[in-house]
Structure 1
């Protein structure tokens, strides 16, 4: 049981400019994806900010997830996604459906954990291209490193 994959805790890679909109500006309330992670309401998403930051910086709880055709999805997320219509349609180019992960309680961790430290603590950790489920022992280590105080 020690190294089981936890279905309700996902490590999600997000570009720095979008992470800033989530945690600093608080203007982004939905994360857009082309691939559907198996998440439910109140599941936990740990945010890994991709290059050049390369660090675990915070988390949010899932409020709801929608999968819809692209034009209908845009109508539901346009004022919450932190992107322009051009960026949205470029991102979803070539696909019929998109996913919107609406979230609540976004918060930065007390301590940011950079990729180098993650690799030392988690046996050559590799950040996900999009997302991956955290194993229970990985989540325990990350909680310790970030001084986790989830409310």
Structure 2
């Protein structure tokens, strides 16, 4: 399970369904169908949702912009600034967003996961961390599920 650190304004766009592609410079070692954990960085500092990986696209930044720019919910300038000098870009397609009924704060993560430090980009969760995340109560389409 992949743990993604994402700026809160982009997390909000994901939760609202306006952003369905998360952009990265490096391709994580995950396959379509894998689950990702969505962590909102400073000032929120909390895990707010999970999602399934629908697909992963890798290509030149110009190709990823052409195919995913609108789905990434960022301007061309923001995209170009982020990928300046990069030879490749990665688009992680997100689906089945599940928003936690109660977000998991950074202090709670640190209490449960000794020495936890949120990653700059992403990290992989171990089995016990995955279990903690997958047993959280989430909302899908206005309904609560466990």
Common fold by TM > 0.5: yes
Partner Cα distance (2:41, 2:61) in 1:
25
- The equivalent residue for 1:21 is 13
Partner Cα distance (1:141, 1:101) in 2:
23
Moved more, 124-133 or 135-144: 135-144
Partner Cα distance (2:13, 2:98) in 1:
12
1:135 lines up with 2:126 in the alignment: yes
Q: State the Cα distance separating 1:137 from its structure 2 match.
A: 1.0
Partner Cα distance (1:142, 1:112) in 2:
11
Partner Cα distance (2:88, 2:112) in 1:
37
CA-based RMSD: 1.3
1:84 lines up with 2:84 in the alignment: no
1:45 lines up with 2:36 in the alignment: yes
Query: Of the two structures, which has the highest relative contact order with CA contacts closer than 8 Å and spacing of 6 or more?
Result: 1
Q: State the Cα distance separating 1:143 from its structure 2 match.
A: 3.4
Q: State the Cα distance separating 1:121 from its structure 2 match.
A: 1.0
- The equivalent residue for 2:61 is 70
Moved over 6 A (4+): none
Q: State the Cα distance separating 1:125 from its structure 2 match.
A: 1.2
Deviations 1:74-107 (A, max 9, x none): 0001210010000000000111110000111112
- The equivalent residue for 1:3 is none
Partner Cα distance (1:142, 1:73) in 2:
30
Unaligned runs of 5+ in 1: 1-8
Q: State the Cα distance separating 1:142 from its structure 2 match.
A: 3.0
Counting only pairs closer than 5 Å after superposition, residues 108-119 of structure 1 correspond to structure 2 as: 108-119=99-110
1:12 lines up with 2:4 in the alignment: yes
Partner Cα distance (2:68, 2:90) in 1:
10
